[in-house]
Structure 1
Amino acid sequence: MTLSRWNPPDTLSAREARIRKRVGKKRKMFGFLCDQRCELFDEEFQAELEQMYRDTGAGKDPVPPALLAMVVLLQSYSKASDSDAVELAACDARWQLVLGCLGSDEAPFSQGALFNFRERLIAHDMDRKLLDRTRELAKRTGAFDYKQLPKKLDVAIDSSPLIGAGRVEDAFNLLAHAAWKVVLCVAELRDRPAELLVDELGIPLLAESSIKKALDIDWSDPVAKNAALNLLLGQIETLEQWVKTNLSSEASKPPLQDQLGLLERLREQDLEPDPKGGGQRIERGVAKDRRVSVEDPDMRHGRKTKTKTFNGYKRHIAVDLGTKLILAVTVASANEPEKDSLPTLVDRLDQQGLELGRMYFDRGYIESSDVPELIADGVEIICKPWRQSNGDKFNKTDFKLDFAKQTVTCPGEQTQPMILGEIARFDADVCNACALKSKCTTSDRGRGLRVAANEPLQAKLRVLQGSAEGRARLRERVPVEHSLAHVSQRQGNRARYLGKRKNEYDLTRAAALVNLQVIQRELESSEVAIAA
């Protein structure tokens, strides 16, 4: 199998030049991609893309991978599906200008080729390399004067919700949906229609398009609801018993094993024994790490605020405040705390060989295990401290914490030793006799003060927030919010794909396009300055 390189012409034809001039006034990204395509996809990067393919000598020659990588960017810019991308490449002169096929009646790739390329891109993490290439392009084009920028980067991190593409279902629908997937799997293994199978087994509920409609009960009646649940569970158990008896070998390996495992997990997360006897009931409260969708295994319940919830993912971005370029991204399930995503972003910054001077982020990231290591490496952390509240009583800011002596002194001048990550206890007798007790505690056992493991950092951040100069430094992170807004506008707030990795690919290409727009604006402003 021979891989051909994408070699768009360096010089535009008369017709291409006319179209390039038109897109220079509106939809400028088409013109920018046309101008920079050879620089963005140089010989070195094309060679890296070619490593995604096996040299077997079999099959048809693939479409040049660099051309398909450009299609990926055009897709994000035009918000086009795979089928739309094929049509645009065949009919839209702007797409043809960028792809170097102006005047062609056929697209230079098929929908299947684009799908397969995306799978390869994700499998080899080359989408992340595409994002890295935009940063390299900024250097090559001279969009920024790097001599005037600090060697060590100031990086800001932020996140926003991404609503999942999978259908969110309650316990009844999740169980019925998962059971139907088992039925479909069994029907395929037995080469029989699924509808005929459920009739033979006497489990008609599992074939219904709407389990709630099929049960047809008063859903406000807890007795009827519980009876309906156990009716559904009875038919699921009938199915499982039949599979165990007739397909024991197939049940121990994929795909049937996976579907049965999913059904069991959903039952464990949503059900509990009925204390009144007589089967199962819906578990009170929400199970930790509860799966909310059958089709998307990575979607979870999440919270943006105490009152605002969503189902899906969180997308995280790291932005260089000097250039406003996005350096790294990641996607996490909605229930994963921000602190769990910081190590991934830091690792990806390290892989690019970037030196960090300061890091700006929200409180949610401050508890990450990477923060002490960053501080030890000389990275300055800029973040708001945790809020301190204790009603009308003294809070932590009213106490004197001496980290050198490892002591804490209360407003009443009682001093006790403190250990990071533990609670400092003050003597009850001293507290009860103190004139300030009514302002400090209602307990007769003395005041307790929780000292966080990162309390020295929290103390520094409280000092930072307490001055006008410090608050101005905190506001330096605002560009990351702007970048996140641009990414949200480009990617949308609803996921295009199922699963974390594919949605991270979508986020990565959106971030790459945002970077290209930043570079384009910088180059335009430089040209205007030179002309002036």
Structure 2
Amino acid sequence: MERWTPEVKCNERETRLLRLVGKSRKLFVFLREHRHEIFDEKFQEELEAMYRSSGQGDEPQPPALLCMAVLLQGYLQVSDAEAVRLSATDSCWRMVLATLAQPGDAPAFSQGGLQQFRERLIRHDMDRRVLERTVELARQTQAFDWKKLPKSVRVAVDSRPLEGAGRVEDTVNLLGHAGRKIAECIAAELNMSFEEVCQEAGAPLLAASSTKAALDIDWTDAEQKNEALNRLCEQLDGLSAWVQRRRPETELTPLSHYIEALVQVKQQDLESTDEGEVRIRQGVAEDRRVSIEDAEMRHGRKSKSKRFNGYKQHISTHLDAELVLACAVTPANRPEEEAAPQLQKDMARMGVEPDVLQIDRTYLHSSLVEQVVERGGEVVCKPWKGNNVRPGLFGKKDFHINIREGTITCPAGQVEPFEPGQVVEFDPEACGPCPLRAQCTQAASGRGRTVSMGDNEALQKKLRELQESRAGRAKLRERVGVEHRLAHLSNRQGPRARYIGARKNTFDLRRLAAVQNLETLSRRSSGPTLQVVSST
């Protein structure tokens, strides 16, 4: 396989170009000067190994060149077609890709080749290695002063919402969308027109550009709406039966995916009535699908009043090195703690074990927190507020909690034992005549004050004490480093996902994080030479 061997020394033309581009696109300068260090012999061998396992296809372009193109594409946030054009016409791209001296304006790669390389990166988890490579480069760089960083490793974890690329629709449009895609797929397989399939299957509503327009009813009238829903479902059932007769065995093809999507939407959004009809289900089904094209998108909430549809991006950041270490993407409805195992695994691959973990409290029940606590590390975050207490009443912080003895003492001195994860109710006979009752509880007569104890009550107690001190509050503010990293990623990517599916969006997040790490290396390097030393 042909290997990418770009020149190390800049020629006169490149020097002039670097002087111009360095004023606005500084990363081009860094990539040109250090491309041979980023894509050293060992890393190029890893990229080439993605191809040796298949043994099929034409001889590809050098994988390192395509990987550099992927980074440039993420840096400028351009499409595949635009990346191909820039590789042929933009002097900065050609300089970094080492094609500036080649005659003519032929592109360095094809659009299909770039897409196939990206899919290969994802299939072999090499997008993770690209991110790891930027951290390795920082560790091997004298100018970066990695060895001068504090001995205790401070890692921060945070997330941000990401709107999905799939179209979000209501129940009627989800049903109609799935039905149309089924008709289109079977039409292509049987070499029929889309309209012929809809006609033969008895589903003329699907042939219209808009399902709701074809139904043509007053959607504020509940009776008309119910009748239209049942009419649409009858035609969809007819289409499904027609497809089953014409194609009894459905393999794992786009057709099978859309059939599964239709079944899923019916199960989650519809329910049967006693009259044998269907109606919209009351309430929202758990893990409800919101898009036909993107099966993994979900409803999520930024707050009680703000909702979004898509995913959550999670990153872990080395606060002192200002480098992104690991990335994960989860559906928007999943709790933050579910992203922790992936982040933990990726950091472990790089030998990073946090001594201090700065997190949002939504990660408190994660395996990453458990690992840090077991190793004797420090977890820094705001504590949960506990059970809702009216203003003017004693809060949980006013009770003395003895973790070692497993007891909790109220402000009046009453002591009760507790178990983690349970609710402690103080003796009603002691609470009734207590002179502090009016300041403690508004429970009915014959009931005592209750206090909810967390599963990790020992940690919660430390966090409450941390928040109550000035030094502790200053330490809590140190998490701003990971928030800055997320803000930079958001500014480059925007609020919307580039791809469909969690895995592809994980690739995109890792690519963006790698670009950001390279920008950090560029900013913190003292001169044109990184002085990379042996990792041994």
Does the alignment reach a TM-score above 0.5? yes
Kept in 2: contact 1:243–1:251 (CA 8 A) = no
Q: Is the Cα–Cα contact under 8 Å of residues 185 and 254 in structure 2 kept in the other structure?
A: yes
Where does residue 432 of structure 2 map in the other structure? 432
Matches within 5 A, 1:285-300: 285-300=283-298
Name the structure 1 match of 2:337.
Answer: 339
Q: Tell me the CA shift for residue 351 of structure 1.
A: 1.3
Q: Which amino acid aligns with 2:443?
A: T
CA-to-partner distance for each residue in 1:272-296, whole Å, 9 max, x for gaps? 2346x45111112221111110001
The answer to whether residue 258 in structure 2 is matched with residue 272 in structure 1 is no
1:530 alignment partner in structure 2: none
Deviations 1:22-46 (A, max 9, x none): 2223311111100010000000000
Q: Which of 9-18 and 386-395 deviates more?
A: 386-395
1:170 maps to which residue?
A: 170
Cα distance in 2 for partners of 1:314, 1:60 equals 38
For 1:84-120, what per-residue CA distance to the aligned partner results, in whole angstroms no more than 9, with x for missing partners? 1111010001111101111441112111111110000
Q: TM-score, normalised by structure 2?
A: 0.94
Within 5 Å, give how 1:435-514 maps onto structure 2.
435-439=435-439, 440-443=441-444, 444-514=446-516
Query: Is contact 2:326–2:343 with CA below 8 Å preserved after alignment?
Result: yes
1:49 aligns with 2:47: yes
1:95 aligns with 2:98: no
- Aligned residue pairs total 523
Gaps of 5+ in 1: 528-532
Shift of 1:361: 0.7
**1:161 counterpart residue number:** 161
How far the C-alpha of 1:254 sits from its partner, in A, is 4.5
Q: What one-letter code is carried by the residue in structure 2 that aligns with 1:333?
A: P
* Contact 1:156-1:360 at 8 Å conserved across structures: yes
Who is 1:262 aligned against? 261
Partner of 2:534: none
**Range that drifts further, 56-65 or 327-336:** 56-65
| TM-score for the superposition, normalised by structure 1 | 0.94
CA 1:146–1:231 in 2, change beyond 3 Å: closer, same or farther? Answer: same
How far 1:234 sits from its partner (Å)? Answer: 1.1
1:397 corresponds to = 397
User: Which protein has greater RCO, CA pairs closer than 8 Å, 6+ apart?
Assistant: 2
CA distance in 2, matches of 1:254, 1:129: 31
Q: What is the CA distance between 1:358 and its match in structure 2?
A: 0.4
- Deviation track 1:45-86 (CA, whole Å, cap 9, x = no partner) reads 000000000367654321000000100111112221111111
* Distance in 2 between residues matched to 1:31 and 1:340, nearest whole Å: 39
Shift, 1:259, TM fit: 2.6
Residue type of the alignment partner of 1:441: Q
Distance 1:76 1:524 in 2: 25
Q: Secondary structure at the match of 1:61?
A: coil
The amino acid across from 1:148 in the alignment is K
Q: Is the alpha carbon distance of 1:448 and 1:58 closer, same or farther for their aligned partners in structure 2, counting shifts above 3 Å?
A: closer
Please state how far the C-alpha of 1:407 moved relative to its aligned partner: 1.1
Q: Is the Cα–Cα contact under 8 Å of residues 342 and 368 in structure 1 kept in the other structure? A: yes
Q: Whole-Å Cα distance in 2 between the matches of residues 55 and 344 of structure 1?
A: 26
Paired residue secondary structure (1:51): helix
149-158 or 51-60, which deviates more? 51-60
Task: Tell me if structure 2 keeps the 8 A contact 1:491–1:506.
Answer: no
Distance, in Å, in 2 between the alignment partners of 1:58 and 1:525 is 44
> Retained in 1: the 8 A contact 2:358–2:381?
yes
| Offset, 1:514 | 0.7
Deviation for aligned residue 1:446: 2.2
In 2, Cα distance between the equivalents of 1:429 and 1:238? 68
> Which residue number corresponds to residue 227 of structure 2?
227
Q: Distance in 2 between matches of 1:372 and 1:140?
A: 31
In structure 2, runs of 5+ residues without a counterpart are 530-536
- Superposition RMSD on alpha carbons, in Å? 1.8
Structure 2 contact 202–239 (Cα < 8 Å) conserved: no
Residues 58 and 146 of structure 1: CA distance in aligned 2, closer, same or farther (over 3 Å): closer
**What is the CA distance between 1:255 and its match in structure 2?**
4.8
